[in-house]
């Protein structure tokens, strides 16, 4: 395996950051997870836009532009002989001192890892996932807005630990007001009386690329979609429930807090969306080839 590290392709053991890098010391940095299918990167422009928006939000200057970043992704995939891949983009604040002042970090690190990923066992896509609502709450948006996809994922990790210690593979987070937000690494949808519902961005979610793609698919299939607040009770009485994310794609949820969701099996609407999403990822309409970086081109070399 070769890692893209500040413009060079190096073995993993040579892709090293300093112990004084603020990404390591304080989680000061950003990342993206992207998928490639059959040699094409899925929704690359949307992912890169979100990466550079996250950078602007925390006043982090990415030292290469979107066009260069896109080319670097393909270069790394090709170097590793990958056509179907999980891609992790990482930008750290860079080397500083033991203080918090980010102005002392003058050289951000840009890292690209391309590999394969299987977040959940294959059988769960047919049988569905058991989940619980986590005791750990989502940090309030005025404290740390999750729309910035930062390297500080401790809030999500603590919720994941809640689930694993209780014997569940996944946890669903609530915000301090008790509204459902998302799972530890995925967005969440419920189906109730024929309407597909997902939490709005302002409640404390990462506005997922897969989430938005699934909403578009549902509307195209004539399924009503609403972004609105809902609580734990709505999870318990939902007809269907599923998670969406780059790594998991669409994962049915069949149980929440010991209560079956709907029939306790993946529902028909979930199954239709799963099939439609698989088709989307393999279609030219849903993917970006190397030559299709028009949206990234012309945006400038810095965030």
- Give the helix/strand (H/E) hosting 245: strand 240-245
In the chain, what are the domains?
3-117 (3.30.470.10), 124-284 (3.20.10.10)
What whole-number distance in Å separates Cα of residue 182 and Cα of residue 198?
9
Report the SS3 class of residue 223.
Answer: coil
- Catalytic residue, chosen from 43, 104, 149, 228, is 149
What whole-number distance in Å separates Cα of residue 290 and Cα of residue 140?
38
- The pLDDT, as a whole number, for residue 299 is 40
DSSP state at residue 140: P
Assess contact for 213 and 277: CB atoms under 8 A: yes
Q: Which residues face 5 on adjacent strands?
A: 8, 111
Assess contact for 276 and 249: CB atoms under 8 A: no
Token reading at 302: 């810095």
What whole-number distance in Å separates Cα of residue 15 and Cα of residue 115?
15
Residue written as tokens 């004084």?
A: 20
DSSP state at residue 95: B
Assess contact for 85 and 287: CB atoms under 8 A: no
∠ CA 19-15-31, nearest 5°, is: 80
What whole-number distance in Å separates Cα of residue 257 and Cα of residue 130?
8
- The pLDDT, as a whole number, for residue 118 is 85
Per-residue pLDDT of the chain (303 residues; tens, 9 = 90+): 999 999 999 999 999 999 999 999 999 999 999 999 999 999 999 999 999 999 999 999 999 999 999 999 999 999 999 999 999 999 999 999 999 999 999 999 999 999 998 888 999 999 999 999 999 999 999 999 999 999 999 999 999 999 999 999 999 999 999 999 999 999 999 999 999 999 999 999 999 999 999 999 999 999 999 999 999 999 999 999 999 999 999 999 999 999 999 999 999 999 999 999 999 998 843 444 444 443 444 443 333
Is 160 known to be catalytic? Answer: no
- The pLDDT, as a whole number, for residue 289 is 46
């Amino acid at each position: 395996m070769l890692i893209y590290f500040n413009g060079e392709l190096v073995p993993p053991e040579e892709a090293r950051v300093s112990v004084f890098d603020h990404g390591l010391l304080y989680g000061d940095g950003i990342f993206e997870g992207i998928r490639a299918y059959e040699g094409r990167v899925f929704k690359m422009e949307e992912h890169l836009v979100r990466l550079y928006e996250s950078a602007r939000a925390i006043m982090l200057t990415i030292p290469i532009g979107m066009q260069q970043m896109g080319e670097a992704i393909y270069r790394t995939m090709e170097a590793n002989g990958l056509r179907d891949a999980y891609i992790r983009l990482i930008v750290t604040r860079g080397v500083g001192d033991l203080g918090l002042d980010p102005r002392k970090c003058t050289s951000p690190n840009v890292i690209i890892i391309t590999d394969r990923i299987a977040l959940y066992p294959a059988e769960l896509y047919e049988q569905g996932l058991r989940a619980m609502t986590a005791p750990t709450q989502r940090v309030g948006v005025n404290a740390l807005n999750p729309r910035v996809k930062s390297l500080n994922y401790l809030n999500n990790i603590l919720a994941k630990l809640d689930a694993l210690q209780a014997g569940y593979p996944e946890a669903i987070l609530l915000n301090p007001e008790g509204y459902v937000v998302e799972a530890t690494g995925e967005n969440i949808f419920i189906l109730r009386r024929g309407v597909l519902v997902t939490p709005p961005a302002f409640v404390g979610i990462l506005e997922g690329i897969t989430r938005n793609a699934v909403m578009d698919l549902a509307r195209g299939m004539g399924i009503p979609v609403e972004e609105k607040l809902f609580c734990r009770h709505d999870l318990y009485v939902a007809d269907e429930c599923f998670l969406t994310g780059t790594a998991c794609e669409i994962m049915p949820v069949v149980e929440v807090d010991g209560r079956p969701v709907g029939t306790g099996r993946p529902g028909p609407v979930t199954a239709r969306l799963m099939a439609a999403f698989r088709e989307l990822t393999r279609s030219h309409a849903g993917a970006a080839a190397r030559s299709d970086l028009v949206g990234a081109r012309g945006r400038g070399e810095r965030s």
